[in-house]
Amino acid sequence: MPVPPMPDKMLSVLRTEAGRRWFVGVYTPTGWRLRSRTTGRFVSVSRALGWAKGIGRLLVKTEAMRRQLDYLSEEFWAEYLTDKEFREEITDYLRASMGYPPEALL
């Protein structure tokens, strides 16, 4: 059985610009996955993209939020990214607004 080609989005994250981290595409029975050469663990494409772009994983995770909440100011996002307490308060508020009970927020 021939191995299908690696998806294009994985090819772009095999190495960072600075060469700090390397990722190897590994074909498994479930499909292509990325493995970190430094740790030997499988990593998600979004985490590898974050490392490859030289940005923290938090920025990768909040990118979708920024697109959907585009009416919020840059000052809000700057505080959200730097202040952990503020970020936790916002997360709790969003979870509560989705209907999670307060005890589930702990």
* Segment 56-89, tens digit of pLDDT: 667 767 877 888 888 988 898 888 888 889 988 8
pLDDT for position 59: 73
Give the CA angle between residues 65, 67, 101 to the nearest 5°: 25
Q: φ and ψ at 13, to 5 degrees? A: -115, 15
Average pLDDT over residues 39-49: 79
Whether pTM > 0.85 for this model: the answer is no
